Chains A and B, each alone.
Chain A
Amino acid sequence: MAEVENGLQEFDVTEEQRELRSALRRFCERAHDEATVRRLMDSDDGWDRALWARLGGELGALALAVPEELGGAGGTLVDQAIAAEELGAALVTGPLLGTVGLAVPALVAAPAGQERDALLADLAEGTRVAALVADVFAPHGPATAAGVTAEGTTLSGTVALVPDAAAADVLLVAATGPDGPVLAVVDPAAAGVGVQERGSLDPTRRLARVTLDGATGTVLATGADADHALAHAFRVAGALLAAEQVGIAQRLLDTTVAYAKERLQFGRPIGSFQAVKHRCADMLVGVEQARSAALHAAWSVADPRLDDADLAVAIAQARCSEVAYRAAADAIQLHGGIGFTWEHAAHLYYKRAIADAELLGSAEAHRERIAAAVLDTLGADVAAPQVATG
């Protein structure tokens, strides 16, 4: 296994990372408990701007992998993945995917410039938030920027489902121009820009329709530069979304196991029945696999010497989507009737899990990428096994 830096190897956990995890967990327990989630999901905005600013300014958790000279913490994507796990476990509402997952890495990978640098610093600090207007329900590809066309600085088109767009102070728009993809910054209050919030199955991460009708944007990147920025954004967002799924699955495992120990039926804890116990064991196995895949993706994006970063992210998204959804479904099943009520938190996690599985490409879409990268390119060195011929 390759040594990465500072004598660290893949999957090593530093003391700083352990401290980051416990700091975020404490913060979420105090400032973003279930009651807060419920209050926010019933509020008009769906998130808490002041709490977001604390995540950015006080905890520095919004730009952990961003270089210090760009306003970030100068860590690696593994740090940000640990944050994504914890924030996912607490179902933190707010534009995590749009801002931390997509906009920040797109800006980091875009060419430097006054507009970019100022925006990146604000996003890191949590004083402004952003959404990426693009097809974020499929892996990065030719269709990513197909919804909006660009002619110079004029943008037109509709993207039907954009997470976090209603919250955004800034829209980062992926468009298609005469010379390929374009990445532009658009003010949602500008003329020709419509952001219409839609009813979302997952009330903790809202979707909106974004309509651009001859809106004017500031172009940050075009052609290969824009393509590079978008590819990087999808890579980082994929690794972070996978980490969020790990956080969700782990939390569901913990709460389900705790319930199985205290819930009594037939005179004994239901966790003593093998039918229940074995389902919990399978959840555990899934969580362990998902965590390995998600961490490997974060490590590989941070240091591409470790692996083909796109393949590592595809593996993580394929596996973590399955595991988090399965964990959420099993959590409801193992809680029985109470798990189906509005009062219990299981449905909140279930809704986040099904939304996460769809975002940035379904497990099937990522298996397609894996099949193309692995199965369709097998070389002559892959020998056929000996088969009986009778």
Chain B
Amino acid sequence: MSPPATTTDTLSATSEAARVEEAARAVVAAHDPRTVSREELFGALYDAGLAWVHHPEGLGGRGLSRGLQAVVDEIVTAAGGARMFAVNPIGYGMGAPTVVEYGRDREQVAAWLRPMATGEEIWCQLFSEPGAGSDVAGLASTAVPDGDEWVVNGQKVWTTLAHVARWGMLVARTDPDQPKHRGLTYFVIDMQQPGVEVRPLRQMTGQAEFNEVYLNDARVLDAHRLGEVGAGWKVAITTLMNERTAIGGVTGPRGSGVIAEALGLWRAHPERHTPVLRDRLAALWTRAETHRLTLARARRTATAGQPGPEGSVSKLVGAELNQEVYEFCMDLLGPEALLYDDYTMSRERVHADPGSTLQQRFLRSRANTIEGGTSEVMRNILGERVLSLPGEPRSDSDRPWKEVPRG
């Protein structure tokens, strides 16, 4: 956990919160979320420095503590607006902090951020490959310089939103003679070009939320490189840290979120109540509640603008809790849980689909402990970065990437 705020910080934070609140209220008053387009509302928030309050001024922010974004989100959703995160999750949650920190040209960064905030340009993340899952730094896609451009070849996988994305955050190998972490470079690639082919990747629920992306002589401008050549891993860490925060960091009121489904099901099926199931639900509820309190406490005590390893705690706990809550729901439902409506492939994201069923969400939850970093990797991060325990002996750190066995 970050060091707690001092009383003085708290007092000045309180007046900052009041200013943010006032500004957000002014935006929703001038652009009623129920009548104006999403683009207009989010654009107005961006222009008022309320899209990412912790960003610098002129880049959709006000240079404030990131915790104050919750004040804006609350006002916007209460007025009937969508969450900026929900509209463009990869861009809003992960792309923005990465381009702000590592973008080399402020005008270019601003040109990316505004349509990212409005949702006019969707972003996706091109990290994972068939041969590089948890060991994402071992990835094999290549980028070769060609004038003021790079030529990219390779295959990416598990790419959310690639089929609708305008921009992709790409990590590619630019020097196979270096050890794996040192030969990577980070780019923002135009997804709408002939060299980028997107194919749906069907998952166990029947849907295809994700994609495979084939890069065949795709081109990316050197001006769209983030950070230095060979320093892509450092940039990628920023994206990944924000991914964990984004996945685990959403808190609502007590009893909301996935546990709400179990509560609703419990109330709807008194005929299936047993003392054993009741205790199991009470235990799950208690864990969900202490998880929620922990997120609230982390938000309150976070002084630094950067997400730290506590994002890994919340990602780990949230993922495992989701699975156990859905397992409970299936057991509570009993035989009826074995029904399924339709395995026809669609592009719906199960969690974003208001028509999705409990059984779909149960199956979908298997991915929670894999996507965005497996629970095993999360525990390594907690052990090594928070508790400073020593790493495993490794056989790949100091060898040129091309000599490390893969498969």
Contacts and interface: CB of A to CB of B under 8 A. Distances in A.
Given A272-B389, A385-B261, A388-B341, A278 B383 contact: yes
A178 B292 CA distance: 45
A7 B264 contact: no
A271 B389 contact: yes
A12 B300 CA distance: 7
Contacts of A10: 296, 300
Contacts of A288: 1, 294, 310, 313
Interface string B370-386: 00000010111011101
Interface in B147-165: none
Given A9-B10, A261-B388, A375-B263, A274 B358 contact: no
A8 B266 CA distance: 37
A379 B215 CA distance: 53
B35 interface: no
B402 interface: no
Range, interface on chain A: 35 or more
A318 B255 CA distance: 17
A274 B283 CA distance: 28
Contacts of A272: 389-393
Contact of A290 (B14, B290, B361): B290
A280 B357 contact: no
A269 interface: yes
Given A10-B296, A15-B6, A289 B266 contact: no
B14 A387 contact: no
Nearest to A17: B4
B294 A292 contact: yes
Contact of A386 (B6, B291, B357): B357
B287 interface: yes
Interface stretch (B55-63, B238-246, B332-340): B332-340
Contacts of B283: 318, 367
Contacts of B7: 6-8, 12, 14-15
A335 B283 CA distance: 29
Given A386-B355, A390-B340, A374 B290 contact: no
Contact of A370 (B260, B285, B388, B391): B285
B287 A7 contact: no
A78 to B, nearest CB: 12
Range, interface on chain B: 35 or more
Contact of A387 (B10, B294, B336, B391): B336
A15 B11 CA distance: 13
Contacts of B1: 288
A370 B282 contact: yes
B286 A280 contact: no
Given A12-B10, A387-B357, A280 B389 contact: yes
B313 A271 contact: no
A175 interface: no
A319 interface: yes
B328 to A, nearest CB: 12
Contacts of A268: 390, 393
Contact of A274 (B10, B286, B379): B379
Contacts of A276: 389
Q: Is the interface of B mostly helix, strand, loop or mixed?
A: helix
Interface string A307-347: 00000000100110000000000000000000000000000
A367 B382 contact: no
Contacts of A257: 387-389
B106 interface: no
B340 A282 contact: no
Contacts of A290: 290
Contacts of B392: 272-274
B267 A274 contact: no
B23 interface: no
A206 interface: no
A295 B282 CA distance: 20
Interface in B6-23: 6-7, 10-11, 14
B226 to A, nearest CB: 31
Q: Among A3, A285, A293, A389, which residue has the most Cβ atoms of chain B within 10 A?
A: A285
A269 B390 contact: yes
A208 B173 CA distance: 70
A277 B389 CA distance: 7
Contact of A389 (B341, B360, B390): B341
Q: Among B268, B290, B296, which residue has the most Cβ atoms of chain A within 10 A?
A: B290
B359 interface: yes
A260 B313 contact: no
B365 to A, nearest CB: 13
A383 B266 CA distance: 10
Interface string A1-26: 10100111111111100100000000
A285 B317 contact: yes
Q: Among A269, A288, A383, which residue has the most Cβ atoms of chain B within 10 A?
A: A288
B96 interface: no
A364 B279 CA distance: 8
A278 B112 CA distance: 39
Q: Among A12, A291, A378, A387, which residue has the most Cβ atoms of chain B within 10 A?
A: A387
Interface in A254-288: 257, 260-261, 268-269, 271-274, 276-278, 280-282, 284-285, 288
A278 B10 CA distance: 35
A388 B296 CA distance: 34
B293 interface: yes
A371 interface: yes
Nearest to A282: B379
A11 B379 contact: no
B389 A13 contact: no
A8 B282 CA distance: 31
Contacts of B222: none
A11 B296 contact: yes
B4 A284 contact: no
Nearest to B336: A387
Nearest to B300: A11
A128 interface: no
Contacts of B34: none
Contacts of B4: 11-13, 18
A289 B388 CA distance: 20
Contacts of B336: 387, 389
Nearest to A267: B393
25 contacts: A8-B10, A12-B300, A13-B301, A14-B6, A271-B387, A271-B390, A272-B390, A272-B391, A274-B380, A277-B389, A280-B382, A281-B386, A282-B379, A288-B310, A289-B290, A289-B291, A293-B289, A293-B293, A315-B289, A319-B287, A375-B263, A378-B263, A385-B265, A385-B357, A387-B336
Given A12-B7, A384-B265, A384-B268, 20 more contacts: A257-B388, A272-B391, A277-B384, A281-B378, A290-B290, A291-B294, A291-B297, A368-B279, A374-B255, A374-B282, A374-B285, A375-B281, A384-B267, A385-B264, A386-B358, A388-B340, A388-B358, A388-B359, A389-B336, A389-B339
5 residue pairs, one from A and one from B, having the closest CB atoms: A390-B339, A277-B383, A384-B268, A271-B389, A281-B382
